[in-house]
Amino acid sequence: MSILKVENLSKKFGQKEILKNVSFEINEGDILAFIGPNGAGKTTTIKCILGLQKITKGEVIINGYNIKKNFVKAITKVGCLVESPDVYMYLSGYENLVMQASYYKKITEEDLMKIIQLVGLENRIYDKVSKYSLGMRERLGIAIALINKPNLLILDEPTNGLDPEGIKELRELLIKLSKEKIGILISSHNLSELETFCNKVCILSKGEILSLNSIKEIKNIDENKYILKIDNTTKVKKYLSNIDKILDKNYIEVIKDENDIAKFIKELVLNDINVYEVKKEALSLEEAFIKIAGGKKIV
Amino acid sequence: MFNLIKAELKKIFRKKSFLIVTIIFILYCLLTNVIYKEMDNILEVDETYYTDTNISNNLDLTNQEDLEEYLNNKTKNEINDIKKNNDSSMEYIIDNYLYNLVYEKNKIKYTSKDEEELTKIEKELAETLKYINNNDWEYFVNLKITNLKAELKEDESNSRLKELISLNEYRLTNKVDYSYKNYLNNAIIAIETDLLEYYNFKSKDNLSKEEQERYNYLQEEMALNNYILKHKVDANNTSNLNAVLKEFPANFGLFILIYVIMISGSIVSEEFNKGTIKYLLTKPHKRSTILASKLLTVLLLIPLIIIFMCLIEILIGGFTLGFNSLNIPILIYNSSTNLIESYSVIKYLSILLITTLPEFLILGVLCFLLSTITTSTSAAITITFLFYLMSNVISNLALMYNLKIFNYFIALHWNFNYLLTKTPNPYNFKPLFSLGIIAIYLIVMLCLTFIYFNKKDVKNI
Ligand SMILES: Nc1ncnc2c1ncn2[C@@H]1O[C@H](COP(=O)(O)OP(=O)(O)OP(=O)(O)O)[C@@H](O)[C@H]1O
Ligand SMILES: [Mg+2]
């Protein structure tokens, strides 16, 4: 069942067109990785979905309700963390949760305690937020996003400031949630963190969707990563394209489809470069992304 | 809605700025009360002593003015000596009756040097001092009555003399001595001083504008002091809790303003600046509901804070100035009926605050509007404060120049204190007209705020 449907979403700031006809859909159990370089419009898209910014053109439908026309019903079952977890610094973590809960109906203290445990803040929850570290604030932000038992979870760069343990926990949490028929939209810079558990990926560049595929499709584009062992990597520089890499003295990494790799090896051999070993590897999500986004670097 | 307002209140009360302003207010309150308490001591009679060289310095005794100054200073020295040795019940007699005698004596001593007259006056002085040292204030009252009665014989229809006599008889029956600490004495003195001028105006037909104003003032003073004598209420005391509360807006208006703009200037803009607005506006409530909850919080908090300030003042004032003055009523002169109306402190204070409230509500809404539109706390606070200063200037200008355009300026309408003090509106506005203007201002400001807030994009911070 469709939880979030974005149709031809466009957004203009004055004359500047920030989003151009963005469309995608999230169903129950989906985890959509929302990827794009800085300034692509990820945060803007998320703000439009949440009604924080006015939509210039297009529709956003959440749980069957249009966000423009039926804001209250559409937003009721949405949990979100936009950009940074901005909470009231002069209150304690617990007071912040209680405050956020007070805007919903019927959230019990037990519910809060469960969420606190889920994000692993039970030891520090009664401290003032101004004494929290960045990662702890991020955990609090995630807790707030979960407070109303949402069926659509929107997280904008939630891994900011989390330690590896925290990232792992978040990943496990999201996987668990997605099994409970929740739809999740997650944007992040750290693509390698997402690839292991996302089932959909949406690549955004300059306000346009470049590619919207399932993870499997992306990984199965007919290009592959090859690691070659050669005698001297300094000599091959001129044969490499901009997405290929020299790994060290003997190893290079190239991304090519099957036909091209054969030609490439032939070329090396003809130019007196010895090839000792060729290893084929699947593309990581990040590499696939760079490839699709036209080799743009993610800063 | 109730929940939303509760959350807003919690945010405000937990902020450091609120605590800091409250602490400053309490200190300020303490200071104000101490000043009120010490006011009398600060203004206490001048007890400067002049040494002889000091007196004669630069004084040319052949010159009439210098001579007078010399005699005055000499007299003051002697009077100060006498005062030191007497308790307060003779204060007024020493300052006036005795002063004149001593001055007279000095005049003879240093100018005419007539031995005969000097011995005569010195004898009279000694006689008077005897009564003064015995604290026999009744002697002086009787003396005055005798003199007045003699005067009255010659001018039997003189109602001023009759009134003076009855005032002195009042002294005797109510045992009012001549101490300045005795409020009945002060009221009697005030009437005695004003009486001559009052009767002059009363008998005159065509009063000029200034004279009419002065006459009105005298009428008010007479009515007030007569009421004090009749009902024995210490209503003119300026150094008790009662007096501080009577002037509450004048004493603490600035702090009310600070609270108002601090709260209404930050309640919307701070959420935008700190980014917390993202959570707030993704809650299942309409934007207008969220804004309305904030507005209601402000409108509710303004009267609550004023009440809170009053309670703190009553508490601090009670401990510094004493609580007993709360029993004394506050007197108001109604100029149209020429009567005194008596209010209990609580009733007076309530009406005073209610008639002052519109000003702060309007400033609060203005600051709220600016806070929403600019999303800058400092801009909202600064502009509102400037508006407040400017409105004072324009209110004064409007008193001087009767321009039509001023009639629609809000600051001329937002103060209803004149309804309490029973004075005419300084600009001749009807209360209903003022209320209408206020309503129009409020509606326009609130519409702007709501329209703007509903359209606002949440920008990156
Ligand atoms: N209020 C605004 N007025 C004008 N342009 C804006 C405004 N807000 C954002 N933009 C522009 O919109 C584009 C998209 O911004 P957005 O914040 O959505 O990017 P993003 O994909 O979230 O980037 P990042 O990965 O750095 O978070 C940027 O080019 C930005 O300059
Ligand atoms: Mg962003």
Bridge-based pairing of strands A183-187 and A31-35 is parallel
CA–CA distance, A264 with B275 (Å, rounded to integer): 53
**Chain A residues with at least one Cβ partner in B under 8 Å:** 43, 47, 50-54, 71-73, 75-76, 78, 80, 82-84, 86-91, 95, 99-100, 102-104, 144
CA–CA distance, B210 with B22 (Å, rounded to integer): 45
Give the residue whose CA is nearest to atom 22 of ligand 1.
A43
Over 80: is that where the pLDDT of A283 sits? no
Ligand in closest contact with the CA of A16: 1
Give pLDDT, residue A297: 47
Question: Which residues of chain B are modeled with pLDDT < 50?
Answer: none
Count other Cβ atoms within 10 Å, centred on residue B378: 11
Instruction: For an interface test with B, give the residue of A45, A62, A103 to mutate (most B CBs within 10 A).
Output: A103
Q: What are the chain B neighbours of A90 within 8 Å (beta carbons)?
A: 14-16
**Three-point CA angle A237, A238, A242, nearest 5°:** 75
Looking at chain B, which residue has its C-alpha nearest residue A101?
B283
CA of A81 to the centre of ligand 2 (A): 11
CB contact under 8 A, B283 and A71: no
Phi first, then psi, for residue B83 (nearest 5°) are -60, -40
Tokens 């008889």, located at residue: B169
Report the residue among A12, A15, A42 best suited for mutation to probe ligand 1: largest number of ligand atoms under 8 A from its CB: A42
Q: What are the chain B neighbours of A76 within 8 Å (beta carbons)?
A: 284
CB contact under 8 A, B283 and A80: no
Bridge-based pairing of strands A57-62 and A2-13 is antiparallel
Is any ligand 1 atom within 6 A of the Cβ of residue A13?
yes
Q: Which residues contact B239 (CB under 8 A, 6 or more apart)?
A: B36, B37, B38, B39, B40, B321
> Cα A120 from chain centroid?
22
Q: B216, B225, B228, B233: which is closest to B192 by C-alpha?
A: B225
CA of B454 to the centre of ligand 2 (A): 23
Give pLDDT, residue A273: 84
Bridge-based pairing of strands A183-187 and A152-156 is parallel
Strand partners, A209: A204
How is residue B276 written in tokens?
A: 């917390």
Alpha-carbon distances, residue A153 vs A78, A185, A200, B111 (angstroms): 6, 6, 15, 105
Is any ligand 1 atom within 6 A of the Cβ of residue A44?
yes
Count other Cβ atoms within 10 Å, centred on residue B122: 14
Q: How confident is the model at residue A216 (pLDDT cuts 50, 70, 90)?
A: low
Give pLDDT, residue B93: 83
Instruction: For an interface test with B, give the residue of A4, A45, A71 to mutate (most B CBs within 10 A).
Output: A71
Instruction: For an interface test with B, give the residue of A4, A75, A88, A144 to mutate (most B CBs within 10 A).
Output: A88
Over 60: is that where the pLDDT of A296 sits? no
Strand partners, A9: A22
Q: B353, B346, B345: which is closest to B329 by C-alpha?
A: B345
Give the residue whose CA is nearest to atom 26 of ligand 1.
A38
CA–CA distance, B273 with B244 (Å, rounded to integer): 40
The string of DSSP letters for A147-169 reads TT--SEEEEESTTTT--HHHHHH
CA–CA distance, A185 with A173 (Å, rounded to integer): 14
- Whether B191 contacts B167, CB under 8 Å: yes
Q: How confident is the model at residue A298 (pLDDT cuts 50, 70, 90)?
A: very low
Q: B30, B70, B64: which is closest to B50 by C-alpha?
A: B70
Strand partners, A34: A187, A202
Alpha-carbon distances, residue A210 vs A45, A177, A289, B285 (angstroms): 15, 28, 10, 35
Model pLDDT for residues A102-158, shown as the tens digit of each residue: 999 888 899 999 999 888 888 889 999 999 888 888 889 999 999 998 999 999 988
**Three-point CA angle B50, B55, B56, nearest 5°:** 155
Percentage of residues in chain A with pLDDT exceeding 90?
29
Alpha-carbon distances, residue B289 vs A278, B32, B453 (angstroms): 65, 41, 11
Q: B299, B293, B261: which is closest to B450 by C-alpha?
A: B293
Tokens 């996302």, located at residue: A198
B246 residue type, one letter: K
CA–CA distance, A73 with B310 (Å, rounded to integer): 45
CB contact under 8 A, A99 and B276: no
Sheet strand arrangement including A245-246: A245-246, A251-256, A224-230, A275-281
Dihedral, B5, B11, B13, B17 alpha carbons, nearest 10? -140
Highest mean pLDDT among A4-18, A184-198, B353-367: B353-367
- Whether A200 contacts A31, CB under 8 Å: yes
Give the residue whose CA is nearest to atom 18 of ligand 1.
A41
Helix (H) or strand (E) holding B130: helix B115-133
Q: What are the chain A neighbours of B276 within 8 Å (beta carbons)?
A: 86-88
Give pLDDT, residue B114: 76
Q: Report ipTM (2 d.p.).
A: 0.81
For the purposes of burial, counting CB atoms within 10 Å of the CB of B176, is it exposed (0-12), middle (13-18) or buried (19 or more)?
buried
Tokens 């249009």, located at residue: A66
Q: What are the chain B neighbours of A19 within 8 Å (beta carbons)?
A: none
Q: How confident is the model at residue A88 (pLDDT cuts 50, 70, 90)?
A: very high
CA–CA distance, A83 with A47 (Å, rounded to integer): 10
CA–CA distance, A66 with A79 (Å, rounded to integer): 17
Give pLDDT, residue B385: 94
Give pLDDT, residue B58: 66
Looking at chain A, which residue has its C-alpha nearest residue B457?
A53
The string of DSSP letters for A29-43 reads T-EEEEE--TTSSHH
Over 90: is that where the pLDDT of A222 sits? no
Helix, strand or coil, per DSSP, at residue A9 = strand
Give pLDDT, residue B1: 84
CB contact under 8 A, A54 and B457: yes
CA–CA distance, A32 with A152 (Å, rounded to integer): 11
Over 50: is that where the pLDDT of A299 sits? no
CA of A156 to the centre of ligand 2 (A): 7
Nearest to B278 among A52, A54, A89 (CB): A52
Tokens 């324009």, located at residue: B394
- Whether A25 contacts A6, CB under 8 Å: yes
Count other Cβ atoms within 10 Å, centred on residue B289: 14
How is residue A227 written in tokens?
A: 């690691």
How is residue B93 written in tokens?
A: 């007699």
CB contact under 8 A, B457 and A100: no
**Average of pLDDT values for A171-188?**
87
Is any ligand 1 atom within 6 A of the Cβ of residue B430?
no
